[in-house]
Amino acid sequence: MAAAPTPLLDVELVRRDFPILERIIHGQPLAYLDSASTAQKPQQMLAAVTRFYSTSNANVHRGVYTLGVESTDAFEGARDAVARLLNARSRREVIFTRNTTEAINLVAKTYGLQHCGPGDIIVSTVLEHHANIVPWQVLAQATGATLRFLDCDDAGVLQLDALDGIAREGNVRIVAVTHQSNTLGVRPPLAQLVAWAHAQDAIVLLDAAQTVPNRPVDVQALGVDFLAFSGHKTLGPTGIGALWGREELLAGLEPFLTGGEMIRSVRLERTAWNTLPWKFEAGTPAFAEAVGLHAAIDYLEGVGLTAIDAHEQAITEYALARLQEVPKLRIIGPTSADLRGGVVSFVLDDVHPHDIAEILDRHAVCVRAGHHCTQPLIERLGLPATVRASFYLYTTTDEIDRLIVGLLDVRRIMGV
Ligand SMILES: Cc1ncc(COP(=O)(O)O)c(C=O)c1O
């Protein structure tokens, strides 16, 4: 079976931009199928960071000298790029964080602490990454609010019929949900959840770590209130991510971290906070990383997020079909490429996923094995762990074929 070619994306041309894809491991070309963990980097992004450090490095928002102005312009230019990428109404709505995790913690520790108390309810789902569970657990403990999780069925479909019962238990304040599961690839019915949350006067935080990298994400069209994503999954450097939040909500919040940069004026007895977005950016920000993220966003927009989405969809369809040819292999989650993204979890008979990943590594095929930071979901599905293959704009059908060859080798070696 051949994957339908993606008309708008020339994958071989794209691959030439990613130096790491030339690596040979155990005598074979790298087949990197772990982009849901972190994405590989295009040379345009690497060059932008090197160029910045080589020519314009100086701390931001301080120097009146040329380098400092250049550096500040580059940093703030990155904010404009994120605002454009997400279709934010204003650049003031974009707060740089270290990653998705920090962005969600920021909301929990500011909006959450200010708005939740006994009798209030925070709703999340069993599909979530730990980053979208633990901050809400801590918030519930700190405030006396109740944390409720929407369950899913064996295919990862959320059971929304529990919502009305949850609403009767108290005041729903926050609904924190993933845009796409990093373990099953399923996408929750966001429009329905947003409508329900807003009918309860609750806000919606969207964990978009798995979608900002690979498809157009428009915060205004989605109607959510906060959105978090990570730069390192979006072709950018580590150490930078962003929180987008509706300006009227951000304006009413107390700061997250305090110190330099986030202040307007400091007296020994009292401090006045800076305006948005800097009120939430204490200390020297990751400005060189922001420059890298800007270059990554330019790269993604140059290739086209619609084309990347279509490519991932085609690769996922191909992978789902080919994986089903492997005897005793069970795909966890939906086996159709509709309403899911380029992440496929599976188990192979009773072979431990770590053994599978280790044997695949001998074929230079990189997959992740374990609970993928979604321990409650893996337990809910009654599994010890899964193998997860995940795809991106540089993934080829040839790499999927090599995954299949590797899996047949697993069967041979493990005798299943
Ligand atoms: C859905 C989802 N949410 C949150 C995270 C956490 O991202 P980070 O570790 O970059 O903060 C990840 C990372 O795998 C993820 O896939």
Q: How far is the CA of 364 from the centre of ligand 1 (A)?
A: 24
User: How many C-alpha atoms does 324 have within 13 Å on its Cβ side?
Assistant: 11
Distance 138 CA to ligand 1 centre (A): 18
Instruction: Pick left, alpha or beta for residue 261 (phi over 0 → left; psi -120 to 50 → alpha; otherwise beta).
Output: left
Phi, psi of 103 (to 5 degrees): -65, -40
- pLDDT confidence of residue 6: 57
Residue 2 — pLDDT band, cuts 50, 70, 90? low
Who's near 268: CB < 8 A, 6+ residues apart?
none
pLDDT at residue number 167: 96
Q: What is the pLDDT of residue 63?
A: 77
Phi, psi of 98 (to 5 degrees): -80, -30
Q: Which CATH architecture has domain 47-301?
A: 3-Layer(aba) Sandwich (3.40)
* Cα–Cα distance, 139 to 314 (Å, whole number): 40
98-157 confidence digits (pLDDT tens):
999 999 999 999 999 999 999 999 999 999 999 999 999 999 999 999 999 999 999 999
Strands of 276-391, DSSP E: 329-332, 343-348, 365-366, 368-370, 386-390
Ligand 1 site-directed mutation target among 136, 187, 190, 210, most atoms within 8 Å of CB: 210
For 258-285, the pLDDT digits (tens) are: 999 999 999 999 999 999 999 999 999 9
pLDDT band at 62 (very low <50, low <70, confident <90, very high): confident
User: Would you please indicate which residues are annotated as catalytic (active-site) residues?
Assistant: 373
CATH architecture of 11-32+304-414: Alpha-Beta Complex (3.90)
Residues 201-207 have a mean pLDDT of 98
- Give the atom of ligand 1 at the shortest distance from the alpha carbon of 179: 1
For residue 39, pLDDT over 80 is answered with yes
pLDDT of residue 187: 96
Question: What is the average per-residue pLDDT within 50-78?
Answer: 95
Segment 63-80 shows an average pLDDT of 96
Q: State yes or no: pLDDT of 372 exceeds 70.
A: yes
Among 19-33, 59-73, 200-214, 349-363, the range scoring the smallest mean pLDDT is 59-73
Indicate the domain borders of the chain: 11-32+304-414, 47-301
Nearest CA, atom 14, ligand 1: 37
Locate all alpha helices (DSSP H) within 29-162, ordered by sequence.
43-55, 66-86, 100-107, 113-115, 134-143
Model pLDDT, residue 148: 98
**Taking the C-alpha atoms of 251, 252, 254 and 259 in order, what is their torsion angle to the nearest 10 degrees?**
20
pLDDT exceeds 60 at position 176: yes
